[in-house]
Copies of this chain bind each other. A is one copy, B any other.
Amino acid sequence: MNSTTIPVVPLAFAPFDVTSPIATELEEVERILARSLRNSHPRVAEVVDHVRHYRGKRLRPVLLLLAAKACGRVTPSHLTLAAVVEMIHTATLVHDDVLDGAKVRRRVATVNALWGTKTSVLLGDYLFTHAFHLASTVDLRACREIGSATDRVCEGELCQVLNAGNLDLTEEEYFHIIDGKTAELTACCTRLGAIYAGADLETIEAMTRFGRYVGQAFQIADDLLDLIGQETLAGKSLGTDLEQGKLTLPLIHLLASPVAEQAREVIRSAGRNCRVELQSYLVEAGSLQYARDRALELANLAKAELAILPSSSSRTMLEVMTDRAVQRDS
């Protein structure tokens, strides 16, 4: 086993299907998504339909629905809101592909590769507005929660782009960025799950923290994947953070280590082999281990929050998801 293939923790929970307690509900979410995005104009419909290929793990709807079930029960509002958060996530993916000039996502051509940048920017906008409109079929609180969370998501993304190439980014600033761009939406999911299950305030706050920790842990694992993962397993280009001058947690740690100067030179060169050249420095400085430890620590904090809930298969699946968030190889 070499440094590029170390999983963060053993894949102990791999056989579990985390969606088993909410399989029927997830199917209904798919129907709501399809219905909400339907368009009578054939050219528009074709482009909108294409994003169905982006369908991934449905991480956010699964978090929302499991949180709902673990807190009590899944209501029609949960189903609608699960579609809303997935639509928002898809909107950010479509715009991310524009930002990165990505040609392939989930092994199919991206919207920008097929229809160009203009269509991609507008499709992302279309998905954002449809998400908000769909939220308004629930109630005012849903609109406020979704509005507030997406504000922070966009702020985090803007913050990241405006710090591209900033090799002096601090760990605090890094956490501000990932808390916005990733953890805010996962926190919103588990929070909405709790709210619309009728949970008390204490449970709502605990579930919000749970979702936030999971999102942060997930993002650190994603950052590690980008640095040391295998492209064949990940099914996407890796090393893009480095190419785009995005400092992630292992790199921030590295740039405060005794080998900082050498590492800084390698990163500044930003050459094609940058990722490979950095490996030995990252190991030497203990930066990979540092980031893994932080991810595991956050995963543990997340799981501790679940103690507020009664035992249930849904709660167990939330624990499984938390563990998987930090043991990603794809």
- Using a CB–CB cutoff of 8 Å, the interface residues on chain A facing chain B are 39, 41, 43-44, 47, 91-92, 95, 98-99, 115, 117-119, 121-126, 128-130, 132-137, 139-140, 143-144, 146-148, 150-151, 153-155, 157-159, 161-164, 176
Contact = CB atoms under 8 A, between A and B. Distances in A.
The 6 lowest CB-CB distance pairs between A and B, nearest first, are: A133-B147, A136-B143, A129-B150, A126-B154, A43-B162, A143-B143
B43 A159 contact: yes
Given A132-B147, A136-B147, A143-B140, A155 B44 contact: yes
Given A122-B154, A126-B158, A135-B147, 5 more contacts: A119-B158, A129-B153, A133-B144, A133-B150, A136-B144
Contacts of A176: 41
16 contacts: A43-B159, A44-B162, A99-B121, A99-B122, A115-B162, A118-B161, A118-B164, A119-B161, A121-B124, A122-B154, A122-B157, A126-B154, A126-B158, A128-B128, A128-B129, A133-B144
A130 B8 CA distance: 37
A157 B129 CA distance: 13
A125 B157 contact: yes
A163 B122 CA distance: 13
A12 B150 CA distance: 46
A129 B144 contact: no
B154 A143 contact: no
A162 B130 CA distance: 19
Contacts of A128: 125, 128-129
A115 B117 CA distance: 17
A123 B44 contact: no
B140 A139 contact: yes
B155 A119 contact: no
Nearest to A157: B122
Contacts of A129: 128, 147, 150-151, 153-154
Given A119-B158, A159-B41, A159-B44, A135 B125 contact: no
A155 B154 CA distance: 22
B136 A140 contact: yes
A176 B39 CA distance: 13
A76 B5 CA distance: 59
Contacts of A132: 132, 143, 146-147, 150
Contacts of A148: 133
A62 B46 CA distance: 37
A136 B125 CA distance: 18
A98 B125 CA distance: 13
Nearest to A116: B161
A119 B99 CA distance: 9
A151 B133 contact: yes
B119 A162 contact: yes
A95 B117 contact: no
A132 B150 CA distance: 9
